[in-house]
Amino acid sequence: MRISDSRREEIESAARELGYIPNLTAQVLSGKASRAIAIFNANVTQYSLSVLTAQFLRNAAKFNYQLLIDTSFRRTDEEYCRDVGNMLRRSPDGAIILGQLPPQALALIQIPTVVFQQYDLFGCRNGDFYPDLAAGGYMAGLHLLSHGHRKAVYVCTRIHSQTHDKLTGLRQAWREAGLPDEDVIAIEAMQLSEPVEGHLLSLIREKGCSCGLMSNDFVAARALPFLRRNGIRVPEDFALIGYDGNAFAYLTDPPLSTISQSYDILSSAALELLLERIEKKESGCDIPRLHRFVKPVFFQGGSCGCPCEPPPVLGWSRDMLFLEERFGDRIVTYEDFIAQHKPIKKKNGETTINRSHSKNNQRGEAP
């Protein structure tokens, strides 16, 4: 009903004095928004997805929304349907879906949705947003080439997994530099009969591999002390770059250079799209998907050969989840990174890499 501004002020003042809290369930029953968003498959036991979920929590608050979180674990299709149904009973205005849900469970969701997919093993893209893994591998390749490296190692669990696009991007950088694919050697842990460590040492000592991209930051962080114990200095003898942008990257010795998944950008973009669909009442999971690949960013540590001061560890008061919280000056966007590393065509048709960004070329080689 319409009331005067003075009467509205009196009512709101009385409500504050009485400590009145509106009943959200009653409001939803009357047709009002719940101001809640469901997020499905939030695997908080996996570091990268827990960080992504934390960014969703942070950014949802900026839009005055709360998150209802469905944590991921092994379950049958029937259990999936049960859990999705329980979540929908809380009347969320929309849903963020991480990865894939069984078709039966997906069919139950008749509210606006945004689908974020990390990867798809069969090349079937059914999401709105994907992290551009190939662009990340390409960035790592360009940066390693800018330091004068010509033979690289890519370390992963299995090539035919979500990491495959990273290797594709790494080899793209090598091809653009006029170097053969054979100069990028992949180590698949699941395909080796011998320990990965021994194979890596052999490639460094016998095959002349002087740099590497690790499929994630945990592998890279474990590689640093292993190489040191075996007399291989990082980055002087072997430069490496990690992947995921985990917050501990700056605490390794040397600080780890890494490709970050841009979780803040991903979560903000996903929430903005979802709120747009909520406003337009685009319900259900059968609406056209955006199919947008979000470019990563580069975090410059010292493991790649760039100068990097050690962190003031003793001055910190708490742990971090996001590198951007303290080291925003070391984050380089994809656009700026490509501008710094853009290949330069010479008059004779040869291609070289722009090294203007790096004053400290550890390899000391000419372009």
Mean pLDDT computed over 42-71: 88
Give the pLDDT of residue 359. Answer: 37
Instruction: Of 87-96, 108-117, 121-130, 143-152, give the lowest mean pLDDT range.
Output: 121-130
Cis peptide before 254 (omega within 30 of 0): yes
Instruction: Of 71-75, 185-189, 229-233, give the lowest mean pLDDT range.
Output: 71-75
Give the pLDDT of residue 360. Answer: 39
Mean pLDDT computed over 165-191: 90
Burial class (CB in 10 A: 0-12, 13-18, 19+), 54: middle
Whether residue 367 is predicted with pLDDT greater than 50 in this model: the reply is no
Q: How confident is the model at residue 300 (pLDDT cuts 50, 70, 90)?
A: very high
Whether residue 350 is predicted with pLDDT greater than 60 in this model: the reply is no
Q: How confident is the model at residue 237 (pLDDT cuts 50, 70, 90)?
A: very high
Give the pLDDT of residue 197. Answer: 87
DSSP track, 178-191 = T--GGGEEEEEGGG
Give the pLDDT of residue 349. Answer: 53
Mean pLDDT computed over 26-51: 79
Give the pLDDT of residue 272. Answer: 95
- Percentage of the chain modeled with pLDDT above 70: 83
Give the pLDDT of residue 211. Answer: 98
| Token code pair at residue 124 | 């079937």
Please report the domains of the chain, with CATH numbers, ordered by start residue: 21-111+264-294 (3.40.50.2300), 133-261+296-353 (3.40.50.2300)
Whether residue 156 is predicted with pLDDT greater than 80 in this model: the reply is yes
Q: Which phi-psi region, left, alpha or beta, contains residue 207 (left: φ > 0; alpha: ψ -120 to 50)?
A: alpha
Mean pLDDT computed over 331-335: 94
Give the pLDDT of residue 363. Answer: 38
For residues 231 and 214, what is the distance between their CA atoms, to the nearest angstrom? 19
Q: Give yes or no for a contact between 65 and 37, defined as CB atoms under 8 angstroms apart.
A: yes
Give the pLDDT of residue 284. Answer: 77
Q: How confident is the model at residue 316 (pLDDT cuts 50, 70, 90)?
A: low
Burial class (CB in 10 A: 0-12, 13-18, 19+), 178: exposed
Whether residue 361 is predicted with pLDDT greater than 70 in this model: the reply is no
Give the pLDDT of residue 273. Answer: 96
Q: What is the pTM of this model?
A: 0.82
- How crowded is the C-beta side of 278, counted as CA atoms within 13 Å? 22
Whether residue 251 is predicted with pLDDT greater than 90 in this model: the reply is no
What is the phi/psi pair of residue 282, to 5°?
-85, 80
- Percentage of the chain modeled with pLDDT above 90: 51
Give the pLDDT of residue 362. Answer: 39
Most confident of 116-130, 220-234, 330-344: 220-234
Instruction: Of 1-10, 149-158, 235-244, 358-367, give the lowest mean pLDDT range.
Output: 358-367
Give the pLDDT of residue 45. Answer: 82
Q: How confident is the model at residue 34 (pLDDT cuts 50, 70, 90)?
A: confident
Mean pLDDT computed over 84-106: 91
The secondary structure of residue 292, as a DSSP letter, is E
- The per-residue pLDDT for range 192-222, each reduced to its tens digit, is 667 788 889 999 999 999 999 999 999 999 9
Higher-pLDDT residue of 340, 23? 340
